[in-house]
Amino acid sequence: MPEKNSFPVNPFPELLDQSGLTVKALAQKINAPVNTVSRWASGQNRPRTLFDVRRLAECFNLPLDEGFALFWDERLGDPCVHDWCGGVKILPTDDKAQGLDVMIKCPDCGKEREFRGMQRYRRHSKFCGHCNRIRLGAGMVTLKCVDCGTEKTVRRSDLRRYVRAVPQSAASESEGTYRCSRCTGLRKTADPQGDMVRWRSRNVAKYLRAAAKAWPEKFKEFTGLKASSNLPKIRTLSELSRLRKACTEIERYVNRDPLSEDALIVRRALEDAGFTEGRFPHSEHLTARGHLEKAYTKTSRSLARLISHAEQGHVSYVRGYCEVCDKLILSTWSEPVRVHKPCGQFKGSGLLPPKEPTSGRPRELETARKHFAWLVLKVIGQWGQKKIAAHFGGLDKKTVAEGIESILSQMPEPELVPARFQPIVRALRGLNPHLDERE
C-alpha cells in the first residue's frame, strides 16, 4: 500500500488555486490546525483519516471517491493488495480509518466477508471458513491396513479428524495406511500384557456355551446367536465386549428370579461348567485374578499398566517404610510420607516417636521397589522366578525368591493403604512363596 506520509503528486497547490483559498482560510473552513494544513500543502504530510478526507472533499466540491484517489491513492472497487484473494476496496465505517477496507466474496457460496482496520493487511483466504474446510477435506482416500492389507475408503475430512485425535495411530494420509479393528484387537491380545484379554475371552466362550446348551430358547434373545451353531471365534475387542455384555444379561436374568424353573436349569449348567452360583468371574465368588481385575480397574491405573510398570521397574508409589508399624507405604502423594494414615495419630512430624536404632545394613528404597516389582510380576503377571531373574539382568532364581519373601514380610495390612491399593495388597499377601514355579 502507498505510504500515507507523502504524495506521489501533491494535489494541494492546484486545488488551492482553483478554489481561491489560502492555507489559513482552508484551515478555518475545515476547522483544522494551520500547521497541519500547511504540511499538507507543502507535501510533507497527507490527510490520514477518513474524517479529514471527507472534510477536504466537501470543501473542494469533490466526490468522495475522487478524494480517496487524490489523498490516499486508491479508489472504491480497487482490488485488494493481495491479488490472489479476489477482494475489493470498500468504504470504511470508522471516521478514524486510515485506508479503505476490504470485502471478499466467497466464490463457492457467495458469502461476503469484510476485513476492516488492520485486518485488511493480514493474510486472508479467498474462500470462507466453511468452504475452505470442505475444499481441504474434499474427496475420498483409499487406505490399506499395514498388517493384513485390507483396503478401506474413507472421507479425507474424517481421516484428518481421526489423525488429529489419535496422532499415535497407524493412519496416515500421505502413506495411505491404517490398521483395521480386527488387527488392532489381535495386536492387543498378542501383547505380553494381553493375558487378561485371553483369560476373559476363554471365560466368555465357556459361559456362553454352557448357557446355550441349557437354555436354547432365549439364548438368541440375549446374544443374537443361534444356540445350535458353534460360537464365533472372538477376534476383536469390540466383539469380546459385546459378548461380555451378553453374559451379564444372562446372569441378571438368572438372579432376577432364582427360584424359577429356567433359572434353576441355567444355574445348574453354569455351575457344572465351573461358574459358582451362575456368576461370571468378576466378583469375590470366583477367582482372585478376576476379582483383582474388577477392583483395580476402578482406579486410575489399569491392571495391564500395573504389570507394565512393574516390568519396567516403575513402582514409585512405594514410598518407604512407616515409622510406626515399619511396613511399606504405598501412596501417590507428591509430598514425603512418613507414616500410614491410620498410624498417624501422632499429628505432625514433631510428635512422631523417635526412631529406634536398628542393626545391619540400612534398608534402601530402590531395593524395596525392585523387590515389590518382582512380587507384582510373580502374583499378578503370573511370571515364573526364572523369567523374572532373566528379565532383571540375569539374576539367579534364589536371589529372586529371597527378594520376594523379604518384601512379602514387609507388606502392610490392606486397611493401612489407600483404597486404590487395597485389592493389590490383598492379592499380594495371598502369595505362597513356596508354591511350585511355572518354568
For the chain, the domains span 12-71, 83-130, 137-179, 198-286, 294-346+362-429
Spatial separation of the C-alpha atoms in residues 330 and 307, rounded to whole Å: 16
Which three-class secondary structure state does DSSP give residue 287? coil
In the structure, what pLDDT confidence band is assigned to residue 190 with cuts at 50, 70 and 90? Answer: low
Which three-class secondary structure state does DSSP give residue 354? coil
When mean pLDDT is compared across 97-111, 180-194, 221-235, 380-394, the lowest value belongs to 180-194
In the structure, what pLDDT confidence band is assigned to residue 137 with cuts at 50, 70 and 90? Answer: low
What's the pLDDT at 171? 86
Spatial separation of the C-alpha atoms in residues 341 and 347, rounded to whole Å: 10
Q: Where are the alpha helices (DSSP H) in 118-194?
A: 129-136, 156-165, 181-190
What's the pLDDT at 301? 44
What mean pLDDT, rounded, does the chain reach?
Answer: 77
Q: Are strands 112-115 and 88-90 parallel, antiparallel or unpaired?
A: unpaired
What's the pLDDT at 355? 58
Architecture of domain 12-71: Orthogonal Bundle (1.10)
**Which position has the higher pLDDT, 318 or 346?**
318
Spatial separation of the C-alpha atoms in residues 251 and 28, rounded to whole Å: 96
What's the pLDDT at 425? 85
**316 pLDDT higher than 50:** yes
In the structure, what pLDDT confidence band is assigned to residue 194 with cuts at 50, 70 and 90? Answer: low
Start-to-end CA span in the chain (Å): 81
**2 pLDDT higher than 60:** no
Nearest partner of 183 among 154, 149, 231, 152, judged by Cα:
149
What's the pLDDT at 302? 58
**283 pLDDT higher than 70:** no
Q: What is the DSSP letter of 355?
A: P
Segment 33-60, tens digit of pLDDT: 889 888 888 888 888 888 988 888 888 8
Contact 429, 404 (CB under 8 A): no
Q: What is the DSSP letter of 145?
A: E
**143 pLDDT higher than 80:** yes
When mean pLDDT is compared across 144-158, 279-293, 314-328, the lowest value belongs to 279-293
Q: Backbone dihedral region of 347: left (phi > 0), alpha (psi from -120 to 50 degrees) or beta?
A: beta
Contact 428, 408 (CB under 8 A): yes
**439 pLDDT higher than 70:** no
In the structure, what pLDDT confidence band is assigned to residue 1 with cuts at 50, 70 and 90? Answer: very low
What's the pLDDT at 287? 38
Helix axes 181-190, 195-214, angle to 10 degrees: 110
Query: Rounded to the nearest 5 degrees, what angle is found at the Cα of 310, between the Cα atoms of 305 and 311?
Result: 95
What's the pLDDT at 26? 87
Percent of the chain whose predicted confidence (pLDDT) is above 70:
81
Segment 222-250, tens digit of pLDDT: 777 777 667 767 777 777 778 888 888 88
Phi and psi dihedrals of 78, rounded to 5?
-65, 150
In the structure, what pLDDT confidence band is assigned to residue 200 with cuts at 50, 70 and 90? Answer: confident
What lies within 8 Å, CB to CB, of 400 at 6+ separation is: 374, 385, 388, 389, 392
Contact 80, 87 (CB under 8 A): yes
What's the pLDDT at 296? 45
Spatial separation of the C-alpha atoms in residues 4 and 48, rounded to whole Å: 7
What lies within 8 Å, CB to CB, of 424 at 6+ separation is: 292, 296, 306, 330, 376, 380
Q: Tell me what the mean pLDDT of segment 80-106 comes to.
A: 87
What's the pLDDT at 97? 87
What's the pLDDT at 239? 78
When mean pLDDT is compared across 24-28, 421-425, 434-438, the lowest value belongs to 434-438
Q: Tell me what the mean pLDDT of segment 386-403 comes to.
A: 86
What's the pLDDT at 433? 39
What's the pLDDT at 8? 62
Contact 84, 72 (CB under 8 A): no
Enter the C-alpha cell of residue 186.
489381535
Q: Tell me what the mean pLDDT of segment 61-87 comes to.
A: 86
The number of residues making up the chain comes to 439
In the structure, what pLDDT confidence band is assigned to residue 203 with cuts at 50, 70 and 90? Answer: confident
**286 pLDDT higher than 60:** no
What's the pLDDT at 352? 59
Percent of the chain whose predicted confidence (pLDDT) is above 90:
1
Contact 438, 382 (CB under 8 A): yes
**353 pLDDT higher than 80:** no
**71 pLDDT higher than 70:** yes
Contact 225, 215 (CB under 8 A): no
In the structure, what pLDDT confidence band is assigned to residue 195 with cuts at 50, 70 and 90? Answer: low
